[in-house]
Amino acid sequence: MDSRNRRHILVLMLMLAASALLGGCRMSVSLTGSSIDARAKTVYIQTFRNNATLVNPTLSQQFTNALKDRVQGQTPLTIVDNKHNGDYTIEGSITGYSIRPVAIQGDETAAMNRLTITVSVSFTNKFDETQNFEQSFSRYADYSSTQNFTSIESSLVDQINEALTEDIFNKAFVNW
């Protein structure tokens, strides 16, 4: 047997030994910085109820879909329809949807307005209760008061939903 074959056999034996040692360890999967328990396979994401005083009729479904898309796109988890089948559970409601002036000019008119969306979230991890949390998340987008709100509302909501779902995802799965 030449030295090249011996080297290949040695590398193979080291790889087998390492996999045998690691096989007994509990590991977590990390995709895009997330920390998912190796035992976790599923997540239940409740449709977020819209309890805001000012109601956007499509916001509930838009936000829920954005959150599901983020979780599916950045984890290996499968979304399930039953809370009791989820290794992780994300529930909550939209508690705020407001438009306020933010830049008042000298003539007391608003130069900029701010759309703010607030959601209340409850996260449950069935493998590690120390990761459970209940928290409100709030994000906003500013726009010129000269713009027609109804013509830009959808893009503002998309922008805010992206930021909110990132915050929720990071709190639930990245542990920051």
Instruction: Dump pLDDT digits (tens) for 116-137.
Output: 999 999 999 999 999 999 999 9
3 against 12, higher pLDDT = 3
168, 170, 175, 176 alpha-carbon torsion, rounded to 10°: -100
Cβ contact 48:119 at 8 Å: yes
82 within some domain: yes
Q: Residue 152: CB partners within 8 Å, gap ≥ 6?
A: 143
22 within some domain: no
| Residue pLDDT, tens place only, 83-105 | 999 999 999 999 999 999 987 76
pLDDT value of position 35: 78
The pTM of the full predicted model, rounded to 2 decimals, is 0.78
CATH at 58: 3.30.160.150
What residue numbers bound the domain in which 58 lies?
29-174
146 within some domain: yes
Helix (H) or strand (E) holding 162: helix 149-169
Query: How many domains does the chain divide into?
Result: 1
64 within some domain: yes
Cβ contact 35:173 at 8 Å: yes
81 within some domain: yes
**Judging by DSSP bridges, how do beta strands 133-144 and 110-125 pair with one another?**
antiparallel
98 within some domain: yes
